Each structure stands twice: as structure tokens, then as C-alpha cells.
């Protein structure tokens, strides 16, 4: 009998937790939608892949030693510049394959669930 009572209590707790989480998600979605409606720039769209590439071409990459901490030795600075150039080349190779141009799907929701004990 005690086992059945504990089982009912556990199921009730799980249902309450589920309802609380769903309410938090609904509140956050509504808050997000309200912010979108009251935005000062409602027509602004995310940058397209072509716009991002144009900006990267125009601005370029200029990692100089003036951005490094003065405590670094010149060898460490050269190593960091080498690593950066390798990463840039890897990004260019990825972009050349055409795998980087896709449309994102879905939205990201942050959810905070308090302690419900």
C-alpha cells in the first residue's frame, strides 16, 4: 500500500514539473514574440551568406602583434599568428565546399527551471 502511495506521489510530482516547464517555455515564447513586435527595427532580417562573405572580403583579417599581450614572447606571438592563419585557411576550404550556406531552422529558447522541492 505504501508503495502505491509513493508511486502516485512520484507521478504527481513529475506531472507538476512538466506543467511548470511547459508554462516557462510558453511564457518565454510570448515574451520573445512581444519583444519582436515592439522592436524598433521590425523589418530587419538576418544577414545573408553573400552579405557576410562581402563583409569578410571588404574588411579582411588583420591580426597584428599590437593585439597581443605584451608579456608574450615573439615566438608565442608567431605561433598564435600561424594558428590563426591555419584556421582561416580551414574556414576558406569549408566555405569552398559549399557546406556553409544553409538556412537555420528553429529557434533557441533559454529555460530556467527553479528548484521545485
Query: Can you give the chain as a three-state secondary structure string?
Result: CHHHHHHHHHHHHHHHHHHHHHHHHHHHHHHHHHHHHCCCCCCCCCCCHHHHHHHHHHHCCCCCHHHCCCCCCHHHHHHHHHHHHHHHHHHHHHHHHCCCCCCCCCCCCCCCCCCCC
- Centre a 10 Å sphere on the Cβ of residue 20 and count the other Cβ atoms it contains: 13
pLDDT given at position 110 = 62
pLDDT given at position 100 = 56
What is the rounded distance in angstroms from the CA atom of residue 39 to the CA atom of residue 60? 32
Successive 10-residue mean pLDDT values, the chain, 117 residues: 92 95 94 80 64 75 66 86 87 75 62 53
20 close to 116: Cβ distance less than 8 angstroms: yes
Task: Spell out the domain ranges in the chain.
Answer: 1-39, 48-101
CA distances from 39 to 43, 48, 97 (A): 9, 20, 37
Which pTM does this prediction carry? 0.35
pLDDT given at position 117 = 44
pLDDT given at position 37 = 79
pLDDT given at position 25 = 94
pLDDT given at position 115 = 52
28 close to 111: Cβ distance less than 8 angstroms: yes
pLDDT given at position 62 = 61
Amino acid at each position: 500500500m505504501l508503495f502505491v502511495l509513493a508511486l502516485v506521489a512520484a507521478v504527481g510530482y513529475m506531472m507538476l514539473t512538466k506543467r511548470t516547464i511547459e508554462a516557462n517555455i510558453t511564457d518565454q515564447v510570448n515574451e520573445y514574440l512581444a519583444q519582436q513586435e515592439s522592436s524598433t527595427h521590425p523589418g530587419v532580417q538576418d544577414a545573408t551568406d553573400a552579405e557576410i562573405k562581402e563583409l569578410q572580403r571588404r574588411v579582411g583579417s588583420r591580426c597584428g602583434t599590437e593585439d597581443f599581450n605584451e608579456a608574450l614572447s615573439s615566438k608565442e606571438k608567431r605561433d598564435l599568428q600561424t594558428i590563426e592563419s591555419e584556421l582561416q585557411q580551414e574556414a576558406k576550404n569549408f566555405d569552398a565546399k559549399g557546406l556553409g550556406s544553409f538556412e537555420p531552422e528553429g529557434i533557441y529558447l533559454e529555460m530556467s527551471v527553479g528548484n521545485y522541492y
